[in-house]
Structure 1
Amino acid sequence: MLIKELVAILFPHLARVCVDQVFRSGATVRIRARTDTMEAACPDCGIQSRRRHSHYERQLSDIAVGGQELLIHLRVHRFFCRNVVCARTTFAEQIPDLTVRYGRRSIPAAQALQAIALALGGRAGARLTQHLATSVSRMTLIRLIRSLPEPPLPAGPRVLGVDDFAYRRGHSYGTILIDISTSTVVDVLTDRTADTLAAWLQAHPGVEIVCRDRAGAYAEGAARGAPDAIQVADRWHLWRNLGEAVERTLTRHRHHLPSLTSMLSTQPSPSLPLQAPTAPRSPADREDRIAIRTRERHAVVHALLKQGHGVREIARRLNLGRNTIRRFTRAGSPEDLLVHTGTGQRPKALDAYDGYLRKRWTEGCTNAELLCGELRDLGYRGSSTAVRQYIRPWRAGLPPTPTSPRPPTVRQATGWFLRNPTHLDAGEQRQLDTLTAVCPQLAALRVHVRQFAEMMMNRRGRNLEAWINAVLRDDLPELHSFVTGLRRDQDAVTAGLSLPYSSGPVEGHVNRTKMIKRQMYGRANPDLLRKRILLAD
Structure 2
Amino acid sequence: MRIDACSTAAGAACSDCGRESSRVHSSYLRFPADVPSGGRRVVLHLRVRRFFCPEPSCERRTFAEQMAGLTRRHSRWTERLRSTLAAVGLALAGRAGARMAQVFGVSISRSAVLRLLDALPEPEVPTPRVVGVDEYAARKGRVYGTVLVDVETRRPVGLLPDREASSLAAWLAKRPGIEVTCRDRAPFFAEGATAGAPQAVQAADRWHLWNNLGDAAERAVARHRQCLRVLVPDREENADEPTPPEEEAHSPWRSDRFANRIRARHATVHALLEAGHSRRSIGRQLHMTHRTVKSLADAARPEDLFRGQWQHNRTSVLDEHKPYLDGRWDEGCTNAWTPWEEIVPLGYRGSYGRVSAYLWESAPHRGRSPHSHRHPAW
Determine if the TM-score, normalized by the shorter chain, exceeds 0.5.
Answer: yes
Partner AA of 1:225 in structure 2 = G
Is 1:294–2:308 an aligned residue pair?
yes
TM score, norm. by length of structure 1:
0.43
Residue 211 of structure 1: aligned partner: 182
Q: Name the counterpart of 2:90.
A: 118
How much has 1:253 moved relative to structure 2?
3.8
Aligned to 2:41: 69
How far residue 71 of structure 1 moved from its aligned partner, in angstroms, is 1.3
1:243 counterpart residue number: 214
Count residues with an aligned counterpart: 265
TM-score (norm 2): 0.59
1:57 CA drift (Å): 1.1
Separation in structure 2 between the aligned mates of residue 299 and residue 218 of structure 1, nearest angstrom: 44
Higher helix share: 1
Structure 2 residue 49 is matched with structure 1 residue 35: no
**Matched residue type, 1:52:** V
Q: Which amino acid aligns with 2:307?
A: R
- 1:201 alignment partner in structure 2: 172
Q: Deviations over 1:45-89 (max 9, x none)?
A: 333333222222111011222122221111122222333333333
Partner of 1:230: 201
Q: 1:86 to 1:123 in 2, by over 3 A?
A: same
1:45 equivalenced with 2:17 (yes/no): yes
AA in 2 matched with 1:61: A
Q: Does the residue aligned with 1:163 lie in a helix, a strand or coil? A: strand
1:283 paired residue number: 250
**Higher RCO (CA < 8 A, seq sep 6+):** 1
Among 108, 114, 120, the residue aligned to 1:136:
108
Question: How far 1:284 moved relative to its partner?
Answer: 5.7
- In structure 2, do the counterparts of structure 1 residues 257 and 106 end up closer, same or farther at CA, with 3 Å as the change threshold? same
- Distance in 1 between the 2:181 and 2:312 partners? 40
Matched residue, 2:148 = 177
Rounded Cα–Cα distance in structure 2 between residues aligned with 1:289 and 1:57 = 77
Aligned Cα root-mean-square deviation (Å): 3.8
Which residue is equivalent to 1:326? none
Give how far 1:184 is off: 4.0
Contact 1:175 1:192 in 2 (8 A): yes
Determine whether 1:192 maps to 2:206: no
The residue that corresponds to 1:91 in the other structure is 63
Give the fraction of aligned pairs with identical amino acids, expressed as a percent.
47
Partner SS, residue 198 of structure 1: helix
- Over 3 Å counting, the alpha-carbon distance change for 1:87 and 1:69 in structure 2 is same
8 A Cα contact 1:161 1:178, kept in partner: yes
TM superposition shift of 1:290: 4.8
Listed one character per residue, the Cα deviations across residues 125-148 of structure 1 (whole Å, up to 9, x for unaligned) are 222222121121122122222333
Matched, 1:55 2:23: no
Larger radius of gyration: 2
Q: Does the Cα contact within 8 Å between 2:224 and 2:376 map onto a contact in 1?
A: no
Structure 2 Cα separation of the partners of residues 283 and 290 of structure 1: 14
Amino acid at match of 1:95: M
Give the Å deviation of 1:299: 10
Once residues 110 and 297 of structure 1 are traced to their aligned partners in structure 2, the CA distance between those partners, rounded to angstroms, is 64
AA aligned opposite 1:141: V
Corresponding residue SS for 2:8: coil
> In 1, are the aligned partners of 2:132 and 2:205 still within 8 Å (CA)?
no
State the shift of 1:182 in Å.
Answer: 4.9
Contact 2:246 2:255 in 1 (8 A): no
Contact 2:14/2:20 (CA < 8 Å) preserved in 1? yes
Conserved in 2, the CA contact under 8 Å of 1:53 and 1:80?
yes
Indicate the residue corresponding to 2:122 in structure 1.
150
Equivalent position SS for 2:169 = helix
Q: 1:159-189 CA distances to partner (integer Å, 9 max, x unpaired)?
A: 3222233434455443222334554433222
Instruction: Give the secondary structure class of the aligned counterpart of 1:102.
Output: coil
1:107-141, Cα deviation, whole Å (9 max, x unpaired): 12112222222332222222222212112112212
CA distance in 2, matches of 1:211, 1:186: 14
**Residue 44 of structure 1 contacts residue 88 of structure 1 at CA under 8 Å; is this kept in 2?**
yes
Question: Counterpart of 2:16 in 1: which secondary structure?
Answer: coil
Q: Please tell me the residue identity of whatever aligns with 1:146.
A: D
CA contact (8 A) 1:67 1:132 kept: yes
What amino acid maps onto 1:131 in structure 2? V
| Gap change, CA 1:279 and 1:194, over 3 Å in 2 | farther
Query: Partner letter of residue 293 of structure 1?
Result: R
**Secondary structure of 1:121's partner?**
helix
Report the more deviating stretch, 227-236 or 129-138. Answer: 227-236
Write out aligned runs for 1:152-171 (5 A): 157-171=128-142
State the AA in 1 paired with 2:29. E
Separation in 1, partners of 2:79, 2:145: 34
Task: Give yes or no for contact 1:156–1:201 (8 Å, CA) kept in 2.
Answer: no
Alignment check: 8 A CA contact 1:55 1:76 kept:
yes
How much does 1:91 deviate?
Answer: 2.1
AA aligned opposite 2:194: A
Cα distance, 1:300 vs structure 2:
9.8
Measure, in 2, the Cα distance between the counterparts of 1:300 and 1:198. 50
Do the aligned partners of residues 85 and 203 (structure 1) sit closer, same or farther apart at CA in structure 2, a change above 3 Å counting? same
Question: How is 1:360-399 mapped onto 2 (pairs within 5 angstroms)?
Answer: none
CA contact (8 A) 1:198 1:225 kept: yes
- The amino acid that maps onto 2:164 is T
CA distance in 2, matches of 1:64, 1:130: 11
1:193–1:217 contact (8 Å) kept in structure 2: yes
Q: 1:279 to 1:58 in 2, by over 3 A?
A: same
Partner SS, residue 164 of structure 1: strand
SS of 2:27's partner is strand
1:90-120 C-alpha deviation (Å, 9 max, x unpaired):
2222112111111111112112222222332
Q: Give the Cα separation in 2 of the matches to 1:122 and 1:82.
A: 44
Q: Which residue does the alignment assign to 1:17?
A: none
